[in-house]
Structure 1
Amino acid sequence: MKEVDLKVQMKAPQATELSKLEKKSLVTYIYVGVPMRQYQGRYGTEPRVQLNDQFASVDDIQSYIVQERESLKENERPLMTVSIKADTECPMGIITDIKQALRKAMALKISYSARQMDEMSYN
């Protein structure tokens, strides 16, 4: 799994039913959140998309997915999963736009990163 320098602030939402992703080498990540303080002068304070180590637009997602899929062995390509790691405060409209771009790229296996909800919050 490739290490990425996170350039967006991201606090994952909480969930009660979580499962770990198998074969992390087949997972491609899309990060969504407000740019870190050192990038806010250039990129503002609205939530942004990060693909690998770069800020990107939703329009860049399709070519990014094609590129990531091409880097896999042919027999592994159908097993590729896209994991959306979005900040808990991220507007749902951005997530919807990302999902539509993934659909156009035929990336239909999507997971959402979350952290375990503690029992105090759940009850």
Structure 2
Amino acid sequence: MAPGPHIVLIADDDRLVRESLGDAFDAFGWEVRIADCGTSAIQVLERQRLDLLVSDVDMPDMTGFQLLNWVRCHVPPQPPVVLMSARADAALGRTAIAEGAVTLLAKPVEVARMKSVLATLFH
């Protein structure tokens, strides 16, 4: 990991989710980039190396799974990807992990849960 603060991209079409997660990551000492859709997320990913991608599963222009697949094919080295969904359940969680995500978090995402995921990934 490069020195300096970690950089996270939060991709979600819900402004309140972007803002609340952005505030949480800012409090964790991270630099935050935001995208309101998958296409915007790809534009950020093409310009900048990231340490983490946090993406909603359900966005208007593409799913979080489609974005994850794009990252796997186009972004070396691939940052860890955390997916989140308001309809998270065990089956969707298994699918997320099988597709290459680190985990699937239920929305609304609890700050303590995100902090736990970060502690595991960036110990």
State the TM bucket, normalised to the shorter chain: 0.3 to 0.5
Comparing both structures, which one devotes a greater share of its residues to helix?
2
Q: Which has the higher contact order (CA 8 A, sep 6+)?
A: 1
Larger Rg: 1
